[in-house]
A and B are shown apart, each in its own frame.
Chain A
Amino acid sequence: MATVTFDQASRFYPGSDVPAVDRLDLDIGDGEFLVLVGPSGCGKSTTLRMLAGLEDVDEGAIHIGDRDVTNLPPRERDIAMVFQSYALYPHMTVAQNMGFALEMAKVPKEERSARVLEAARILDLEPYLDRRPKALSGGQRQRVAMGRAIVRQPKVFLMDEPLSNLDAKLRVSTRSQIAALQKRLGVTTVYVTHDQVEAMTMGDRVAVLKDGVLQQCDTPLALYKKPANNFVAGFIGSPSMNIREFKVANGHARIGELDVPLSRDELGVLAREGSDSVLLGFRPESVDLVGAGEGFPVVVRLVEELGADAYLYGSIVGTEDAEAADIVTRVDPARTPRIGETVYLRVRPGQEHAFSPQTGERLG
C-alpha cells in the first residue's frame, strides 16, 4: 500500500516535440481509487504506462510511497497492471496465468497455489482454473486479468480501460464489482477510462486530461458542480452542458431576451481581460420551463422521450448565430412541449457557470 506522486512528469515520444503528457502533477493518496479520464489520445495510457515503467519519464519524477521509481524497470516497482486487451498468456492455464508473477518472485509453491485459489474464489473463477484463456468468455478473461493483478498484493493497481471490451450490460455490473473489490482490498488504484460515466461512478477522485495537460483533479461531485474550465464542464455530464458565448451589457449576460446577472468577481475578470462577452454554461437538468416573459424564448425542434426523462432540443430566439442558439434541456416527461412551439426557459439561479471567452477558465 502506498501513495503515488507525479512530480512535473512529462513524456515526449521520439520524433514528436509536443509532449504526450505535459508536466503532470498528481498526488494520489494511500488506498485511493483515482480515475484518469479524457478523450481518446489525451495521454491517459501514456500516464499509466509511465507509472508502470513501460514508458520513459523524459522530465520530472514519479514516486511510489517515498521511493523514487522514475528510472526503475517495471519489475522493481511492485505494481500490477490490467491491460485493455487483458494480455493473458495464451498457452498458460488460468491458474498459471495468475501464478506467473508469484513464480517470478520465487514464492514457494504451496503459498502460490493458496493465493491463486483465494483470488479465484473472490472472482468466481474456481471452475476455470485449468482452462486456457482461449476457452473463456470475454467477461471471464477480464476476471482472470483482474485475478492476475490481485494475487500479487502489489502496492498499486493500474488498469487501462479494462471494461472497454465487454458488452454494455456486463460493463455496468463489472464496474461496481471492481469498485467494491478495490474498497475491500484497499490497494491504491489508478484507473484509465474515456467514459465519463465510469469515471464518475467509480472514482474517489477523477483527474481530467486534455492534450496531455491535467485540467482538474477532484471528487466527482466537485467536477460536476464546479468545473474548472469549459472543457471539464463540457466533458463531465450527459447530455453535456450547454456552453455558449453571450454578450455582456450592464453587468448582465444577455440570453435571447433575458438578462442573467453576473457576480462582481466574474465581471471583474472580464473587465480585466477586456471581453465584452462571456462563456455561459448551464446543464440540461438546471433549466425550468416558465411562463411567457419570465425566461428566454426557445423554439422546440425535437423532443426525445426516454421514459423517465425527456430532452428538448431547441434554438434560442433572438440570437444571430444559428449554431450558438442550439441548446438541450431536460423537461418533465409528463408535459412535453410540441415541436415548433415556443417555450420560455430559465436557468435556476446559482446553477449557471461562467467561463472566460478567452482562456476558458472558470470566472469567480
Chain B
Amino acid sequence: MLTPSLPAPTATKPRQPPAPRTLTAGERWRLRAPLLPALVFAIALTQVPFLLTLYYSVQSQNLLRPGSKEFVGLANYGKVFTDELFRNAVFNTVTLTASTVILSMLLGIGLAVLLDKKFLGRSVVRTLLITPFLVMPAAAALLWKTSMFNPVFGLVNWMLSPFGVDNVDWASRYPMPAIVGVLVWQWTPFMMLIVLAGLQSQSPEVLEAAKVDGANAWQTFRRVTLPHLRQFIELAILLGSIFIVQTFDAIFMITQGGPGQATTNLPYFIYQQAFRAFDVGEAAAAGVIVVVATITIAMVALRVISNLFTEESA
C-alpha cells in the first residue's frame, strides 16, 4: 500500500488523500520494530500452544504408558467422532448453551425494558443487576453449590419450602437445570447490557410517532422496538454462545460432569480425556474440533457486528 500503485482517482471519489511518501525498507523496519515484542508475545502465547495441540492430535500418546508415543495420522479424530462420550458431550454442550442463551436473553430483554424507564435509584439497580457478570465464575459456582443448592442449608430449598419442597439435592437430582440456572444468573447481565444499549440508541421520536399512530405499548414494542433490537439480540446471542460453549468452572465445581455423564460438556470432556484418562492424543483432537467449531461461530458473529455498524452509519 505504500507504493503509489493505486488506481487513478475515479469520478465518484472527489478527494484523494495525498499519496504517502515511499519509505525505504530500512525505514519501514525501524518504524515497525517497537511493535515486534508485542507481536512475538502474542504469537508465543496463542499460536505455539495451538500448534502443539495440533501436533499432539496426530500422535497416539497415553501418559500412563510412557514411551508409547507414535504418529497415527487422523486416527485420533476418527476415535473422537466415534466416541459415544464425545457425542454425549456435544449434545450436552448444545443443550446447555441453547437453554442458557435463550433464557438469559428473555430475562435480559425484560430487565433491559424495565431499566430503560426512568425511576428512582435506577443506577443502583443497574449496578446490582450487572454484578453477577463481574463475579469470578469459579467463585460464583462455589457460592451456588454451597449456599444455594445445598440440600440441607441451601437457600433454594428454603425459598421453595412454603411450596412443599424439602431437601432436594438439586445438583444431583436436576443436574442440567441446576447448571443452566447458574449460567443464566451469570449471563443475563451480559444480554441485558447489549439489549439496553440497543433500546437507548432508539430515537424517542420514532416511539412517539408510533404512539400518535395509534399503537399501544405492546404493538409499539412488537412492531417498532423489536425490529430495531434484532441485530443487537443476534449479536448478544452469538457472542454469548461463544463464551457459554466454553463453560468449565460451573461444571467442574458443582457436578464434576455428573451424575454419570449428565452434565459433561465439551471442555469438561477434553479435561477428562487429558487429565483423567491421560489420553493426550484424543483430548488434543477434541480440542482442535472445538476450536474449529468456535471459530466458525465467531466468524458469523463478526459478520453480524460489521453489519450492525454499516446499518447504523447508513
Contacts and interface: CB of A to CB of B under 8 A. Distances in A.
Given A75-B214, A104-B214, A134-B314, A87 B209 contact: yes
Contacts of A79: 212
B213 A148 contact: yes
B213 A100 contact: yes
A52 B208 CA distance: 10
B79 interface: no
Interface string B208-224: 11111111100100011
3 smallest CB-CB distances across A and B, nearest first, come from A101-B213, A87-B205, A104-B214
Nearest to B219: A104
A74 B205 CA distance: 13
A87 B215 contact: no
Interface string A71-84: 00111000111011
Contact of A87 (B206, B214, B227): B206
Contacts of B224: 89
Interface of B: 203, 205-206, 208-216, 219, 223-224, 227-228, 314
A348 interface: no
Contact of A52 (B212, B214, B215, B223): B212
Contacts, number: 62
Contacts of B203: 85, 87
A89 B206 contact: yes
A101 B214 contact: yes
Interface residues of A, number: 24
Contacts of A88: 206, 209
A54 interface: yes
Interface of A: 52-54, 73-75, 79-81, 83-85, 87-91, 100-101, 104-105, 134, 148, 152
Per DSSP, are chain A's interface residues mostly helix, strand or loop, or mixed?
loop
Contacts of B209: 81, 83, 87-89, 148
A75 B215 contact: yes
A122 to B, nearest CB: 19
B203 to A, nearest CB: 6
A132 to B, nearest CB: 9
A115 B237 CA distance: 40
Given A91-B228, A104-B219, A83 B205 contact: yes
A80 B314 CA distance: 28
A83 B208 contact: yes
Contacts of A81: 208-209, 212
Contact of A74 (B212, B228, B314): B212
Given A52-B212, A87-B203, A100-B223, 18 more contacts: A53-B211, A54-B208, A73-B211, A75-B213, A75-B215, A75-B216, A80-B212, A81-B208, A83-B205, A85-B203, A89-B209, A90-B206, A90-B228, A91-B227, A100-B210, A101-B214, A104-B214, A104-B215
Contacts of A148: 209, 213
Contacts of A101: 212-214
A87 B208 contact: yes
